[in-house]
Amino acid sequence: MSYLSDFHEAINNPEKYWQKQAKKIHWFTFPETILSKDKQGHYHWFEGGKLNTCYLALDQHVLNGRGDQPALIYDSPVTNNKRSFTYNDLLEKVSLFSGVLADLGIEKGDRVVIYMPMVPEAVIAMLASARLGAIHSVVFGGFAANELAIRIDDAKPKVIVSSTCGIEFTTVIPYKPLLDAAIATAKHKPDHTIILKRPQEDCTLIAGRDHDWKDCMSQASPHDVIPVASTDPLYILYTSGTTGKPKGIVRDNGGHAVSLNFSMEAIYDVSPGDVYWAASDVGWVVGHSYIVYAPLIRGCTTILFEGKPVRTPDPGAFWRVIEEYNVKTFFTAPTAFRAIKKEDPDGKFIEQYNLLGLESVFLAGERLDPPTYEWLAGLLDCPVIDHWWQTETGWPICSNMLGTELKEIKMGSATVPVPGFDVQILNKNGQKVRSAETGSIVIKLPLPPGCLPTLWNDNERYQTSYLSTFPGYYLTGDGGYKDKDGYVFVMGRTDDVINVAGHRLSTGEMEELIGGHEAVAECAVVGIADELKGQVPAGFVVLKDGYRLGNEDLAPELIMIIRSNIGAVANFKQVAIVKRLPKTRSGKILRKSIRTLADRGQTAIPSTIDDPSILDEIKDVLQDQQIGMAFIK
């Protein structure tokens, strides 16, 4: 495969290009039309085609004689439990649970909310829903009752599948009380719930509504696949929105299957039988795409890891899994490796493991800062690939494509657009900017298969959120630039570009520079309000273990780094050493919360935050050091 020829064909003749890719998966009825538009002007892929995503993930591999191959490996250091499921095993359990759902009244088009920890039953519930042509909506297991209630009211599920608990390190988190509170709060009431009882926590079932997973499975009969239209929804996945109400990203069946199969071949370079591991959670888009659907559609062995990169039991957790299961391709977020780097800065734990089978490491979810890249690349004998995508797209927008040709790695860049994504950089007037000039990153329509066709029951918001700002383009909400070679540099959300006395400056660039200091494990730079200059940057730094520098020692060095590399125009004068940074449960730093605290002295607690107490710690630091207008005396 040639990258340039593929890219140009996908842009100039998308119907021909994606028809070829569509022929690589099994259809009950091949699509009549490859690319079409509806009355509202929205694009759709593979209209007229009929298929079933669960069939692609399981049945076809069993029918092709590969039923004894491991399909799913469950590794749970938090419970000291390991289980392996062949394709035969998984098909049997998914078929039975499809029967359970059907017995409770689930039919094609009905919604099933899944509120589960990282256990095999979560994957089984997703595939069983797809088998029936139902629409699943996985809600991250750590969400509070109110957030779950909002999603229940939007999706209106007939059935909710949950568990008695999740486990964070050694802490057992009861789920059933959260589920009961969410149902009590929600206006929509599900007909039934199915509860997986775990040994770590029991619960009381409400007669008539709640059902025990084990009892249901013992009484069920297997259910066959239900063919669905390519354009029928497979799932709804909620992502945060600026209004506070989550946006229900819709994923269709046909485009999703074609694009994920394509990505496994062209981007990740994996074949049937390879072991592929995405260290994420099924509640996030990475878990949907690259723990569950893509590896199974491709015929790989996928790993479901219920643990963390550190403290389960140590910073060698990832290396242990990679060696034990001979992982070929590994995918996680940069924040995971920053956590490992903080506890094991010299990489001593990796020396305990044989990683000869590891051929590539991919990172996404946030920008891969050069210091983390350099640290990781220095430890590994395989390519470390930064790639960029979103919940909305469901698969990579930009990447170094191992299945096509490995390009030069440029630190800080997600490399080049994947075939099908016509990435452009526009200024506020909608005009293309020059090379290396920063602007809004957009994608010229049509988006390739697999991307969101709309939002659940909110087509108007889909239009205003993504399509109205620059007509003819999808607005990613990220800012950045392309260099002379066409490499895309994503510098962060557009509201992370700060304006210092009329100068637009990237906080991402400052974070790169600060992160290169030998004492810094992790950092965040946010623009805070300033009466004179509008905004000024402030740095928040977490030190590596073993460093005991005081703020008076480190701050001058970091300030000089920014001054030397960006200039006095950056007005970078404020640095605070903190024990930890506020993050979402998926590992993204909550820069907006820090900024709001500095500007206003208080902030709403985001529903996605990992630990709300961190905000109090940040507030104390701001107050002690008089950082931000809210704390200047």
- 441-466 average pLDDT score: 96
- 578-583 average pLDDT score: 93
Give me the chain's average pLDDT, please.
94
- pLDDT at position 146: 82
The tokens of 436 are what? 């290396």
Band of pLDDT at residue 499, cut at 50, 70 and 90: confident
- pLDDT at position 494: 74
For 501-625, CATH gives 3.30.300.30
3-class DSSP assignment, residue 440: strand
Tokens 């592929």 belong to 276
For residue 503, is pLDDT > 80?
A: no
The architecture (CATH level 2) of 3-307+387-480 comes to: 3-Layer(aba) Sandwich (3.40)
Q: Is 31 exposed, middle or buried (0-12, 13-18, 19+ CB in 10 A)?
A: buried
Max CA distance (Å), the chain: 73
The tokens of 437 are what? 């000039």
Band of pLDDT at residue 398, cut at 50, 70 and 90: very high
Domain with CATH 3.40.50.12780 in the chain: 3-307+387-480
Give the CA dihedral 9, 12, 18, 19, nearest 10 degrees: -100
Looking at per-residue pLDDT, the higher value among 46 and 240 belongs to: 46
Question: Where is mean pLDDT largest: 39-53, 490-504, 528-542?
Answer: 39-53
Domain with CATH 3.30.300.30 in the chain: 501-625
Band of pLDDT at residue 393, cut at 50, 70 and 90: very high
Measure the CA angle with vertex 19, ends 17 and 20; round to 5°.
70
Band of pLDDT at residue 530, cut at 50, 70 and 90: confident
For residue 244, is pLDDT > 70?
A: no
For residue 242, is pLDDT > 60?
A: no
Start-to-end CA span in the chain (Å): 63
- pLDDT at position 633: 64
Cis preceding-peptide flag for 371 (omega within 30 of 0): no
- pLDDT at position 525: 94
Question: pLDDT of 61-118, one tens digit each?
Answer: 999 999 999 999 999 999 999 999 999 999 999 999 999 999 999 999 999 999 999 9
Measure the CA angle with vertex 79, ends 57 and 113; round to 5°.
45
- pLDDT at position 241: 60
Per DSSP (E only), the strands in 368-437 are 384-386, 398-399, 416-417, 422-426
Side chain identity at 275, as an amino acid letter? V
| 3-state SS track over 447-502 | CCCCCCCCECCCHHHHHHHHHCCCCCEEEEEEEEEECCCCCEEEEEEHHHEEEECC
Question: pLDDT of 610-619, one tens digit each?
Answer: 889 999 999 9
Nearest by Cα to 322 from 84, 133, 73, 563: 73
For residue 493, is pLDDT > 80?
A: no
For residue 489, is pLDDT > 90?
A: yes
For residue 586, is pLDDT > 90?
A: no
- pLDDT at position 243: 54
- pLDDT at position 506: 78
- 462-491 average pLDDT score: 95
3-class DSSP assignment, residue 225: coil
Looking at per-residue pLDDT, the higher value among 284 and 108 belongs to: 108
The model carries a pTM of 0.87
